[in-house]
Amino acid sequence: MNIKKNQIYFIATCCLISLFMLTKVAHAESNPIGNCYYVSSQRGSDTNSGLSISEPFKSLNKINELKLNPGDKVLLENGSVFEDQYLQIKNSGNIEACIEISNYGDRGNLPIINTNGKGVWYQDYGKPLPNPWHKYKGNVSSSILLKDVEYIKIKNIEITNDREKSQPDHLAYNDLKVMDRTGVASVAKNKGTLENIVLENLYIHDIDGNIYNKHMANGGIYFISELPDNEEKTGIPKYDNIIIKGNRIKNVSRTGLAVAYSAYFDLFQNSAEIDQELIEKYGNTNVLIENNYIEDAGGDGIVTMYCSSPIIQRNVSNGAGRQMNTTDYPIVTQRVAAAMWPWKCKNALFQYNEAYSTKNADQGNGDGQAWDADSADGTIYQYNYSSGNSGGTVMFCLEKAVNSTFRFNISQNDKKGILNLPNNPDAHIYNNIFYIDEGVPFVRKDMNTGSALIENNIIYNAGKQPINEEWNPNNRIIYSNNLYCNYSNLPNSDNTALLLNSQESNIFVSPGNGPVKPNFNYLTYDRFNQNTVFDGYKLEQSSPAIHSGKKIIDKNGYNLGTDFFGIKLDGILDIGAVKSSK
């Protein structure tokens, strides 16, 4: 891996966690060390024992009444519909055996929990949040609630929490007082560090929560840490070894997936650079978010918060920011959303992700980007693909976005302005491909006061005529050794620039023909076999980008590693995100 040693360690740790959980599940199946409880809405009865397929419980209420022990399983029958029901797990597994919640039965529809506003609990961070618009306490309805529990694995369940099927609250859908809702919520409070929680292959949709509340447990999957009753006695509430993978989340309000807002936010407010000891003491560690598909999130797609070296990889966001417009969201403040980004994280790694059609930058969404390094230290975006995002490709957000790296990514026809630089102190942007639609500026006009070093990129204007670009509106950007296609001017700082006219250029095999919508199977597109949907961005045999790259020394200490297609980089670099075959 072309990342720092500490990130290699965390990737290895996450892989071991997954292997551990799978090993424990296999052990439980072959040598049961706990009970297996069966629940069927179709053929069950709450007077049954629940301990066999022939005597299943009927309702989830029976599970909520149980004291689950390490090694116990709760299995919901495929095809079952649990209307107006929910699960509130109050007990933990342990290092020897997790508690598992999953499905059983003949192949068919997954068991579905339709919560419809039930399962209400009270969230309270214990103190007001820095922004007075951000709600910090109140009722939340969650289909599955994990409160102060650990060593839990939940998989193969469908979940909804639909407001239209709930008891009428006589409020407009976008009223400030609408109750927050979640598919799966996890709360750390009075048990210190919660370890080993796995959420896998869940289909979470139609979670009609509050449009505005971004730090309540409000959306598809949301983890939080509240102030404990007695920190000296129970320890600091946070998470370690969290795996969220293979889930499909669609049509939720407000956030698709978030791990994990913390009541200790005030410890991270002063310095831009995040102290490693501080984030490991109060933040979340060993967080892996991979292979998830998020569609039509009302606000943000995936957000990691207060994490040390989280790994966010091979996820897809499609249509994030759905409700960030002046009709759905009439209140101006905090009407912002992007596809995938960190908040107050140290060394967050985003790689192999795809972001499509993040919405509404032209209708009131103040962001709308695919990617956003936001008040984070050491964020790296690499090997990602973005297309058609209304607010641009990437933002480095304000003064506390520091030590950011953006490399070996491909952007195709993102809108409004490719780079968003709102007063950030630094960003190292190198060896990317920016294929830019007609009329779209390279630097977004309302976010152009920040600093960046931009080198070895291919910047390709796909318009009909060469344009005169405003490359450096505030004289804080340095360009070096980039290839510019179809421009009538160059940045003053780029003394080794290559300039080509699009009509006579032979840079790529077939530019502009990358995917514009996600893969039909909800996974990222393959890029490692011989023929891929990204092949149009491979270099022509006679491309002037070949062997024209400069030597790159990453400003944040990362090794180069591979190109966009996973080809190892050695020898003379090419310009752009793709290594030639020469």
Q: What angle do CA 277, 199, 98 make, to 5 degrees?
A: 85
| Residue owning tokens 């600091």 | 236
Q: What angle do CA 327, 330, 336 make, to 5 degrees?
A: 95
Which ranges in 188-237 belong to alpha helices (H)? 231-234
HEC string of 22-53 equals HHHHHHHHHCCCCCEEEECCCCCCCCCCCCCC
Burial 458-475, CB ≥16 within 10 A → b, else e: bbbbbeeebbebebbeee
- Distance separating alpha carbons of residues 455 and 296, to the nearest angstrom: 34
Closest CA to 146 of 183, 116, 112: 183
Task: Give phi and psi for 8, each to the nearest 5.
Answer: -60, -40
537 to each of 321, 409, 434, 545, how far by Cα in Å?
28, 11, 10, 12
- Distance separating alpha carbons of residues 217 and 2, to the nearest angstrom: 34
| Residue 110 contacts residue 140 (beta carbons within 8 Å) | no
HEC string of 445-510 equals EEEECCCEEEECCEEEECCCCCECCCCCCCCCEEEECCEEECECCCCCCCCCCEEECHHHCCCECC
| Residue 248 contacts residue 202 (beta carbons within 8 Å) | yes
Closest CA to 306 of 337, 271, 281, 339: 281
Query: What is the number of other CB atoms lying within 10 angstroms of the CB of residue 26?
Result: 10
| Residue owning tokens 């095999």 | 509
528 to each of 214, 388, 535, 567, how far by Cα in Å?
36, 23, 11, 9
Q: Which residues are catalytic?
A: 367, 374
| Residue 550 contacts residue 455 (beta carbons within 8 Å) | yes
DSSP 132-159: TTS--EEEEEEEEEEES--SEEEES-EE
- Distance separating alpha carbons of residues 314 and 351, to the nearest angstrom: 7
| Residue 247 contacts residue 199 (beta carbons within 8 Å) | yes
User: Going by C-beta distance under 8 Å and a sequence separation of 6 or more, which residues neighbour residue 52?
Assistant: 38
Please give the structure tokens belonging to residue 204.
Answer: 């979470």
- Parallel, antiparallel or unpaired: strands 120-124 and 81-83: unpaired
